[in-house]
A and B are shown apart, each in its own frame.
Chain A
């Protein structure tokens, strides 16, 4: 599929006339760019001088390439990700992600919501792992309040359990979408089926399948319902068999391996330079997991392995996620053994509402209840950054407080937003069919990318 320079211009002019042009946000023609900029867009992380690059630039001539749009509507882009690809035949030379189609100003919205309401906002960012978003937001708020060490033990263990189950459900969703992207369409049914079982447990605990707003500053919203232990055990007993099925269906299959091995390779230095975290960083062989390396909650008290790859390719990222499900199950089993009795939220009337029963008998409790749900609680002046390991990498929450009951500035360090930067590098030199495998292996959630 080669074309002349005229055709290239025709493609671009079609885009412009269709009224979809984003101007400078888009992938530019080589003729309009400096050699250094071309090199950067090809994914080069290491720097060269303009003259060095110019001497290399002659190897690729303009007249055989063509720029095409992939997305924003495309089944494999997991949402409204738009990629502009420069192709030479079927080979991807450059790729530029164009994002922002799902931007709804959630960080701005967060500035007008109280800390109590903030959870409903952040939980909608990474909608595939909402509980991790709530967790990091709550932890940042608690750190500013200075109560991060006083959270009741039961609440901490509940948070850990939900966070791990959420990791399982998120990775199961990855199994489904990754399978579908690569062409193992039946995998989509299996992945969603298993994920639904985890979500059913979330629904029983939090009342909702997604967007729970369950982990709140001070603890969690409610205690675990009766029979929760049997439900979790049911999940843990059913999953290993299903995962073994996945192994038969995918891991060992020659077609599956051919499709993923050696595709979208990234090296350790490149991943670090591009700030990639999570399975992308671990696929390069670097065992970096915030749960182990900068532990929070009680992750230093449970045993689990950090799964790493060795080649930094899409297959490693697939295997890492598959095995992380097993590690998460191992953690959840330990949590079941250690789950203490006690309160599920801090009994600080300034932060958490009083129990429902107290409201009928105590005037003070009624006042606290009213104050918390109308104006919220005040958080001391200051700023903090808290980061945890979400299924996609480091999710961080930066809050600057001016002493009022709403954050002065609330910023989420979204792992997908940062990880997307490594896609041009992974795609460079690969086939356009592999571009789909690369997108899938990065596993971006566009709600979080655009916020």
Chain B
């Protein structure tokens, strides 16, 4: 039954930041033609995450995690990559040259989390105003605690 088909565990792979582009290239030639989604999570207040022993032996958990959902149209399957990005170095290679569709998604992640993508053609804020200060989806950017910023208003 299709309802139970959802019970098959997602194909999740932890990838080191240095291996990110190499993994994407390999997966793309394996038949994952489309990057369906690219987002990030800030694990500031929830540092520990359950990990398999095998993964834990080669991956150090960091504050930020880039989550990339690839989709293979030909094989009808998905794979999800989780890449750890440290607080001290928030830059990572851009997937733009492999998947041009990630352009807006990477801009959104930059806008919301302050993760910078090396090689992105147009890394500007996409949802927030250009001169906004701070990255709203970070966990230390809490709701209601900051004065509302009005852009260009007469003061």
Contacts and interface: CB of A to CB of B under 8 A. Distances in A.
Interface in A433-450: 450
A267 B117 CA distance: 28
Which applies to chain B's interface (DSSP): helix, strand, loop or mixed?
loop
A274 B36 contact: no
Contact of B80 (A288, A300, A385, A408): A385
Interface in B117-146: 121-122, 124-131, 136-137, 143
Nearest to B109: A411
Interface stretch (B19-27, B53-61, B93-101): B93-101
A391 B73 CA distance: 19
B25 to A, nearest CB: 14
Contact of A19 (B6, B37, B112, B152): B152
A99 B127 contact: yes
B130 A24 contact: yes
B97 A272 contact: no
A9 interface: no
A421 B73 contact: no
B6 to A, nearest CB: 5
A101 to B, nearest CB: 9
A383 B43 CA distance: 12
Given A108-B136, A385-B69, A273 B99 contact: yes
Contacts of B124: 23-25
Contacts of A37: 121-122
B34 to A, nearest CB: 5
Interface string B39-65: 101110010011000000000000000
A108 B143 contact: yes
Contact of A408 (B6, B46, B100, B103): B46
Contacts of B112: 107
Nearest to B141: A108
Contacts of A75: none
Interface string A40-61: 1000010100000000000000
A25 B126 CA distance: 7
B101 A273 contact: yes
A383 B80 CA distance: 11
A418 B105 contact: yes
A301 interface: yes
Contacts of A450: 127
B53 to A, nearest CB: 17
Interface residues of A, number: 63
Contacts of A295: 2, 5
B155 to A, nearest CB: 14
Nearest to B5: A295
Interface stretch (A148-156, A170-178, A351-359): A148-156
B127 A382 contact: no
Interface in A368-404: 381-387, 394, 396, 398, 400, 402
A350 interface: no
Interface of B: 1-7, 10, 33-37, 39, 41-43, 46, 49-50, 67, 69, 71, 73, 76, 78, 80, 97, 99-105, 108, 112, 121-122, 124-131, 136-137, 143, 152
Q: Which 5 A-B pairs have the closest CB atoms?
A: A275-B101, A23-B130, A100-B127, A413-B37, A24-B124
13 contacts: A23-B124, A105-B143, A108-B137, A149-B6, A149-B7, A273-B99, A275-B36, A275-B101, A293-B76, A382-B50, A387-B36, A394-B71, A413-B69
Interface of A: 19, 22-25, 36-37, 40, 45, 47, 99-100, 103, 105, 107-109, 112, 139, 143, 148-149, 151, 156, 272-277, 286, 288, 293-301, 381-387, 394, 396, 398, 400, 402, 408-409, 411, 413, 417-418, 420-421, 450-451
Given A103-B127, A421-B101, 19 more contacts: A37-B121, A45-B100, A100-B126, A103-B128, A108-B143, A112-B143, A277-B36, A296-B5, A297-B3, A301-B2, A381-B49, A383-B41, A385-B80, A394-B36, A398-B69, A402-B46, A411-B67, A417-B108, A421-B103
